């Protein structure tokens, strides 16, 4: 169901506003303590318009979404005005709100794996509330027809999906079922809360295309909540930037991307690594995201802003109209815009001198390699339960040399994490060999205990989740001390060694006494890197080390990794799904798909000129504000739909 008309431009702010939010202030009260979640947001949504709300963790974007539909958790209260069709939603009694939900305002949640009732068939969930013209429940035939029709609308051609339970479907399909269920009663406004975050990059594109498709077909207003600025630019007409509970900027997507009118927006833009070049150094916003009430009486961004002056801390700045339908909450904006533009062009121009084409790379040298895998295979699952064997790796060969950063790219199910774990020794391969320092790790019986231990420590790992990467009952210092002593039992003066490690990763020495719960995500990841360095490894396997961090912090950690490598000449195996990130870190890259290596080479070659169709698809999946990006996706997905429907049957 594709429509031919163009998207509506920046909303004409007359009375044709669909949704109008003024002074939305969300506060939580738990056990007598009151905490601000958002300090007072203002924005509008016109009919048929797509508004993007972009924010990192703690920005209040998810709570804003919930406030709009009146589903705030207990203890959380919203004040202000949310006007829909002349009525203030926040002031409505619950019964009235219930009538609005689903029929006028709808929401799609982030995680497709938990959004649907696992014990109810998909079709039943979609048509649960659909009634005929007289308001009566539908008969069985009508229900089936309706379910099939709505599934088709979201791109699921196979009506048998209606009889399936959610656990029988893939993540992308579940998300589509969720969308179909949310719009089943033809609402005017759809709020999509991070609809593609939990999905693979290639699936993400499809879902976003579907959303746009559905929106245009029905003329709905769409509010897209996301942390990814690129996604917002790709899909939305207008974008609103939320930070620590305050709206900092509102503008059309094109204008904001070309010329941000707030230092934070600029910082966010620059924190996203470009995929077409490697920068020598990423421009990172220092510090980490504060809690909303810590910055309630000042400009929320000022503690981290390089253009900060006294006036910025005097009080929360209001949104001022800096141009036609553009608002910014920065008091210095007219003055600093030229400087900001200069920073932007400088940052993007800082190309790395070392981009490395295939010709420059040393020949692959197995014996000299720090670590290598030869024909690695790994199968998971019980031999007794035949249906459940999963081949994670189907014969993969790679090597990492001295002082070399190698990228390993793939989506979920590619086997990239399994490969990394095999190199570190956390998994044992079913077949093939792993060589560390030239020694086959499968035959360690011949080595002495000391040699074996030394072998283990040649390769270390940094994990993805910063919140479970450190033992919560131990102090940072104790964790690092344990690592230091593991490397060298007779180490003297462990305390200063710990302090040295902390400094190297950019943390003050006094952090040694803190427990992980007192550290932010970025800080915890730094400690994890310090721990990996403590044993002086030759290779560090980084498994999606920045994926779970806020965007504004990612760049910091990437810079740290680059700096550490320069100082210590340690090698990296950088595992990620994000091509832009891998470009910044690795000279060579391997691309994995479903346990097989499909392409490899110098990063610049592989990304600028992909040979394999899958690599090309990955590159294409990076969100781009180019109109064609979503349009191409729609064309491609119909053929894939058929393929997948056949597989499910």
Partner 1 sequence: MTAITAPDTGFVGLASKRGRRRPSLLIAVSTLIMLLVVASAIFGSLLAPQAANAQNLLYGVHPSSAQHLLGTDDFGRDIFSRLIVGARAAVIGPALIAIGALVIGNALGLIAGYVGGRVDYFIMRLADLVWALPGLLIAIVVVGVIGGGYYVAVVVLIVLTFPVDARIVRGATLQQRNMPYVEAAATLGLSPLRLMIRHIWPNLLPLVMANTFLNFAFSLVSLSGLSFLGLGVPLNTPDWGGMLAQNLPLLQSNALACLAPAIALVLTATSMNLIGDWTYERLSDRGRAR
Partner 2 sequence: MRARLIAIFLIRRALALLVLLLMISFLVFGLLYLAPGNAIQVLLGTHPASRSVIAALTAKYHLGDSFFEQYLFWLKGAIHLDLGVSIQTGQTVTTLIGGRIGVTIFLGIYAFLISVLLGVPGGVIAAMRNRTVADRAIVGISLLGVSVPAFVSGVFLLYLLAIDAGWFPIYGPGTGFVDELWHLTLPAFALAIGVMALILKLTRAAMVTVLEQDYIAFAQSRGVSPARVIIRHGLRNALGPIVTAGGLILGVVLTGAVLVEQVFALPGIGSLLITAVGTKDVPVVQGFTLLAAAILIGANFLIDLCYLFIDPRMTTGRAAI
Locus of tokens 């730094």: 526
Closest CA to 372 of 423, 332, 409, 325: 423
> Which one of 81-89, 363-371, 380-388, 484-492 is the stretch in contact with partner 2 (CB under 8 A)?
380-388
516 binds partner 1 (CB under 8 A): yes
What pairs with residue 212 in β-bridges? none
> Which of 77, 101, 504, 617 is close enough to bind partner 2 by CB under 8 A?
101
Determine the Cα–Cα distance for residues 391 and 386; give it in Å rounded to an integer: 12
> Which one of 143-151, 525-533, 593-601, 610-618 is the stretch in contact with partner 1 (CB under 8 A)?
525-533
37 binds partner 1 (CB under 8 A): no
Determine the Cα–Cα distance for residues 383 and 389; give it in Å rounded to an integer: 7
Determine the Cα–Cα distance for residues 29 and 27; give it in Å rounded to an integer: 7
Which residues between 293 and 332 bind partner 2 (CB under 8 A)?
Answer: none
Enumerate the H helices of 219-258 as residue ranges.
229-235, 253-258
**Cβ of 517: how many Cβ atoms within 10 Å?**
10
Q: How far is the CB of 30 from partner 1 (least distance, A)?
A: 11
Determine the Cα–Cα distance for residues 449 and 445; give it in Å rounded to an integer: 9
582 φ/ψ sector (left φ>0, alpha ψ -120 to 50, else beta): alpha
323 binds partner 1 (CB under 8 A): no
> Which of 114, 306, 609, 611 is close enough to bind partner 2 by CB under 8 A?
114
| Residue 498 site contact among partner 2, partner 1, none (CB < 5 to 8 Å, cut-off depends on kind) | none
602 binds partner 1 (CB under 8 A): no
Dihedral pair phi/psi, residue 283, rounded to 5°: -80, 110
99 binds partner 2 (CB under 8 A): yes
The interface mask with partner 1, positions 448-467, x = CB under 8 A, is -----x--xx-xxx-xxx-x
> Which of 7, 171, 287, 425 is close enough to bind partner 1 by CB under 8 A?
425
366 binds partner 2 (CB under 8 A): no
Closest CA to 392 of 441, 349, 440, 426: 426
Determine the Cα–Cα distance for residues 586 and 490; give it in Å rounded to an integer: 36
150 binds partner 1 (CB under 8 A): no
Determine the Cα–Cα distance for residues 142 and 592; give it in Å rounded to an integer: 45
| Residue 425 site contact among partner 1, partner 2, none (CB < 5 to 8 Å, cut-off depends on kind) | partner 1
SS3 content of the chain, % helix, strand, coil (to 5): 40, 20, 35
| Residue 388 site contact among partner 2, partner 1, none (CB < 5 to 8 Å, cut-off depends on kind) | partner 2
Closest CA to 541 of 564, 572, 507: 572
Asked if residue 42 lies in contact with residue 21, where contact means CB atoms within 8 angstroms, the answer is: yes
Determine the Cα–Cα distance for residues 582 and 588; give it in Å rounded to an integer: 9
Determine the Cα–Cα distance for residues 471 and 483; give it in Å rounded to an integer: 13
The interface mask with partner 1, positions 287-316, x = CB under 8 A, is ------------------------------
Q: How far is the CB of 114 from partner 1 (least distance, A)?
A: 16
> Which one of 112-120, 252-260, 526-534, 619-627 is the stretch in contact with partner 1 (CB under 8 A)?
526-534
Q: By CB under 8 A, how many residues form the interface with partner 1?
A: 33
**Alpha carbon distances (Å) from 553 to 289, 525, 550:** 8, 10, 5
Show the CA angle centred on residue 81, arms to residues 78 and 83, nearest 5°: 125
Which residues, including other chains, have CB under 8 Å from residue 389's CB and lie 6 or more apart?
Answer: 379, 380, 381, 382, 383
Which residues, including other chains, have CB under 8 Å from residue 318's CB and lie 6 or more apart?
Answer: 329
32 binds partner 1 (CB under 8 A): yes
Determine the Cα–Cα distance for residues 71 and 608; give it in Å rounded to an integer: 46
> Which one of 108-116, 307-315, 337-345, 534-542 is the stretch in contact with partner 2 (CB under 8 A)?
108-116
Determine the Cα–Cα distance for residues 236 and 19; give it in Å rounded to an integer: 16
**Tokens found for residue 119:** 């014990």
> Which of 77, 101, 344, 515 is close enough to bind partner 1 by CB under 8 A?
515
| Residue 463 site contact among partner 1, partner 2, none (CB < 5 to 8 Å, cut-off depends on kind) | partner 1
SS3 465: coil
154 binds partner 2 (CB under 8 A): no
> Which one of 78-86, 501-509, 530-538, 590-598 is the stretch in contact with partner 1 (CB under 8 A)?
530-538
531 binds partner 1 (CB under 8 A): yes
**Alpha carbon distances (Å) from 304 to 313, 336, 548, 563, 616:** 12, 16, 21, 22, 38
> Which of 8, 62, 83, 117 is close enough to bind partner 2 by CB under 8 A?
117
Which residues between 182 and 241 bind partner 2 (CB under 8 A)?
Answer: 182, 184-185
| Residue 533 site contact among partner 1, partner 2, none (CB < 5 to 8 Å, cut-off depends on kind) | none
Q: Which of 247/527 has CB closer to partner 1?
A: 527
| Residue 515 site contact among partner 1, partner 2, none (CB < 5 to 8 Å, cut-off depends on kind) | partner 1
> Which of 12, 335, 358, 426 is close enough to bind partner 1 by CB under 8 A?
426
> Which one of 1-9, 107-115, 481-489, 604-612 is the stretch in contact with partner 2 (CB under 8 A)?
107-115
Measured over the CA atoms of residue 283, residue 287, residue 289 and residue 295, the dihedral's sign is negative
SS3 319: coil
Q: By CB under 8 A, how many residues form the interface with partner 2?
A: 38
Q: Which of 329/519 has CB closer to partner 1?
A: 519
129 binds partner 2 (CB under 8 A): yes
Q: How far is the CB of 181 from partner 2 (least distance, A)?
A: 6
Provide the binding-site residues for partner 1, judged by CB under 8 A.
Answer: 31-32, 424-426, 453, 456-457, 459-461, 463-465, 467-473, 479, 482-483, 486-487, 515-517, 528, 531-532, 535
Provide the binding-site residues for partner 2, judged by CB under 8 A.
Answer: 69, 71, 74, 98-103, 106-107, 109, 111, 113-120, 128-129, 165-171, 178, 181-182, 184-185, 385, 387-388
């Amino acid at each position: 169901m594709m429509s031919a008309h163009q998207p509506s431009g920046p909303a004409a702010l007359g009375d044709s506003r669909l949704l109008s939010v003024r002074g939305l202030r969300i506060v939580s009260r738990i056990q007598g303590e009151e905490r601000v979640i958002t300090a007072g947001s203002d924005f509008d949504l016109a009919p048929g318009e797509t508004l993007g709300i972009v924010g990192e963790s703690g920005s209040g974007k998810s709570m804003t979404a919930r406030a709009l539909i009146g589903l705030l958790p207990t203890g959380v209260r919203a004040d202000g005005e949310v006007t829909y069709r002349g009525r203030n939603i926040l002031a409505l009694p619950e019964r009235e709100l219930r009538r609005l939900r689903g029929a006028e305002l709808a929401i799609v949640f982030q995680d497709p794996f938990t959004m649907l009732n696992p014990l109810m068939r998909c079709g039943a969930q979609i048509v649960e509330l659909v009634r005929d013209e007289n308001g009566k429940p539908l008969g069985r035939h009508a229900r089936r027809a309706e379910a099939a029709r709505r599934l088709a609308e979201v791109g699921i051609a196979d009506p048998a999906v209606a009889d399936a339970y959610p656990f029988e479907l893939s993540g992308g399909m579940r998300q589509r079922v969720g969308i179909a269920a949310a719009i089943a009663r033809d609402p005017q406004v759809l709020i999509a809360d991070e609809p593609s975050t939990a999905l693979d990059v290639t699936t993400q594109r499809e879902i976003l295309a579907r959303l746009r498709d559905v929106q245009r077909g029905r003329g709905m207003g769409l509010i897209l909540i996301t942390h990814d600025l690129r996604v917002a630019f790709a899909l939305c007409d207008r974008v609103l930037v939320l930070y620590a509970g305050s709206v900092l900027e509102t503008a059309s997507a094109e204008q904001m991307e070309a010329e941000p009118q707030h230092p934070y927006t600029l910082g966010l833009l620059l924190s996203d690594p470009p995929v077409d070049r490697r920068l020598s150094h990423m421009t990172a916003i220092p510090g980490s995201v504060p809690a909303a009430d810590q910055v309630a009486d000042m400009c929320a961004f000022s503690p981290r802003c390089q253009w900060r002056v006294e006036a910025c801390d005097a009080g929360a700045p209001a949104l001022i109209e800096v141009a036609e339908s553009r608002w910014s909450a920065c008091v210095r904006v007219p003055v600093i815009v030229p400087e900001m533009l200069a920073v932007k062009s400088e940052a993007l121009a800082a190309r790395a001198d070392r981009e490395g084409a295939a010709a420059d790379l040393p020949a692959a040298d197995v014996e000299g390699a720090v670590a290598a895998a030869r024909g690695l295979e790994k199968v998971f699952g019980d031999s007794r339960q035949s249906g459940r064997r999963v081949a994670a790796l189907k014969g993969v060969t790679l090597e990492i040399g001295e002082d070399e950063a190698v990228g390993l790219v793939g989506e979920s199910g590619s086997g990239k994490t399994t490969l990394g774990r095999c190199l570190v020794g956390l998994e044992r391969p079913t077949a093939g060999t792993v060589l560390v320092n030239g020694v086959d790790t499968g035959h360690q019986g011949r080595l002495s205990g000391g040699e074996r231990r030394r072998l283990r420590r040649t390769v270390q790992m940094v994990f993805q989740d910063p919140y479970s990467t450190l033992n919560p009952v131990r102090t940072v210092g104790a964790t690092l001390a344990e690592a230091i002593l593991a490397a060298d039992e007779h180490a003297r003066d462990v305390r200063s060694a710990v302090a040295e490690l902390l400094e190297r990763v950019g943390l003050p020495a006094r952090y040694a006494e803190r427990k992980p719960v007192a550290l932010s995500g970025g800080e915890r990841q730094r400690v994890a890197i310090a721990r990996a360095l403590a044993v002086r490894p030759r290779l560090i396997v980084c498994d999606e080390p920045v994926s779970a961090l806020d965007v504004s912090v990612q760049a910091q950690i990437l810079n740290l990794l680059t700096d550490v490598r320069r100082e210590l000449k340690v090698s990296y195996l950088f595992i990620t799904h994000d091509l832009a990130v891998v470009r910044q870190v690795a000279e060579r890259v391997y691309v994995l798909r479903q346990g097989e290596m499909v392409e490899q080479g110098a990063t610049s070659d592989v990304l600028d000129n992909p040979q394999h169709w899958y690599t090309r698809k990955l590159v294409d999946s990076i969100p781009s504000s180019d109109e064609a990006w979503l349009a191409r996706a729609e064309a491609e997905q119909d053929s894939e739909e058929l393929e997948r429907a056949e597989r499910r049957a």
